[in-house]
């Protein structure tokens, strides 16, 4: 049975957990510097007991001390239910709306070419090259994934020996999350992303996964069209709230 949207949110939190996070009155505070906002944002998960003003002040002070912008990740499950409106009144602006999609894995759809497995460290280096990431982001990316106590399957596609596309599967129970599906701009529109997705799902199926989820920018029409070919459909949206000059 496919997990419901709330369980998918739990899986997403688990598969993006960085080292050194805190729980504060029902909010998960993540402070890992790097590109992934999920690893450096405030995730209001459980009910609050403290006054919101007290919590806002604590979070803003903590993130300022760590040199990380205070970003709030807003899902349909945040508490209190008016938190999004409260943040807007406080001057936090909405950005980066993301769709969480899920599918039942159909092995009949997963034939064709395959991407090759890679060791995690060189895979992270390859992803960083495709993104043009600075060294600090590369280090944070590796630390987050390497420290995760879940099965990880990094893959890549090469052209003339150079990595042109990447992807990552993270397994938990009978579910798999797909991440870092990236194709170099010069190699796009050649079916590389489809090959990566099919490889990740096929590898995950062989290890017992029967359901999959992923996260994609809401306005990324091309990617969402590709994922729909594997049965992915939107389960819910989330977005971030940040202060002007800190929304990145």
Q: In a 10 Å sphere around its CB, with 0-12 CB exposed, 13-18 middle and 19+ buried, how is residue 54 labelled?
A: exposed
One domain for residues 160 and 117:
yes
Residue 17 per-residue DSSP state: P
Answer yes or no: is 247 within a domain: no
Residue pLDDT, tens place only, 129-174: 999 988 888 998 998 899 889 999 999 999 988 999 999 999 999 9
The residue range of the domain holding 138 is 102-236
**Would the pLDDT of 20 be above 80?**
no
One domain for residues 92 and 172:
no
- Percent of the chain exceeding pLDDT 90 equals 74
Joined together, the tokens standing for residue 117 give: 């497995």
One domain for residues 110 and 92:
no
One domain for residues 210 and 154:
yes
Residue pLDDT, tens place only, 44-86: 988 888 999 999 999 999 999 999 999 999 999 998 889 999 9
Answer yes or no: is 48 within a domain: yes
One domain for residues 129 and 17:
no
Number of domains comprising the chain: 2
One domain for residues 9 and 73:
yes
One domain for residues 224 and 107:
yes
Answer yes or no: is 121 within a domain: yes
One domain for residues 132 and 230:
yes
- What one-character-per-residue DSSP string does 32-93 give? --SS-GGGSSEEE-S---S-HHHHHHHHHHHHHHHT----EEE-TT-SSTTHHHHHHHTTPE
What's the alpha-carbon Rg for the chain, to the nearest Å? 18
One domain for residues 92 and 106:
no
Joined together, the tokens standing for residue 208 give: 């017992």
One domain for residues 93 and 107:
no
Residue pLDDT, tens place only, 187-203: 888 999 999 999 999 99
Answer yes or no: is 196 within a domain: yes
> The CATH number of the domain where 206 resides is what?
3.40.630.30
One domain for residues 56 and 152:
no
One domain for residues 82 and 149:
no
């Amino acid at each position: 049975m496919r997990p419901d949207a709330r369980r998918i949110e739990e899986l997403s939190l688990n598969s993006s957990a960085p080292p050194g996070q805190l729980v504060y009155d029902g909010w998960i505070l993540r402070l890992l510097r790097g590109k992934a906002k999920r690893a450096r944002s405030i995730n209001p998960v459980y009910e609050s007991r403290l006054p919101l003003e007290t919590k806002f002040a604590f979070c803003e002070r903590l993130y300022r001390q760590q040199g990380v912008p205070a970003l709030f990740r807003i899902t349909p499950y945040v508490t209190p239910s008016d938190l999004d409106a409260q943040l807007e009144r406080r001057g936090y602006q909405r950005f980066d709306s993301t769709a969480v999609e899920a599918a039942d894995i159909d092995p009949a759809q997963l034939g064709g070419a395959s991407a090759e497995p890679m060791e995690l460290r060189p895979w992270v280096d390859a992803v960083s090259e495709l993104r043009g990431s600075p060294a600090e982001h590369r280090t944070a990316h590796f630390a987050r994934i390497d420290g995760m106590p879940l099965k990880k399957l990094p893959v890549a596609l090469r052209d003339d020996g150079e990595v042109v596309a990447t992807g990552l599967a993270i397994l938990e129970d009978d579910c798999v999350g797909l991440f870092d599906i990236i194709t170099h701009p010069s190699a796009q529109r050649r079916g590389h992303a489809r090959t990566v997705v099919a490889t990740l799902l096929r590898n995950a199926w062989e290890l017992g996964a029967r359901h999959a989820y992923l996260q994609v920018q809401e306005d990324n029409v091309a990617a969402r069209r590709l994922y729909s070919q594997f049965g992915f459909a939107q389960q819910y949206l989330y977005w971030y709230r940040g202060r002007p000059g800190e929304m990145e």
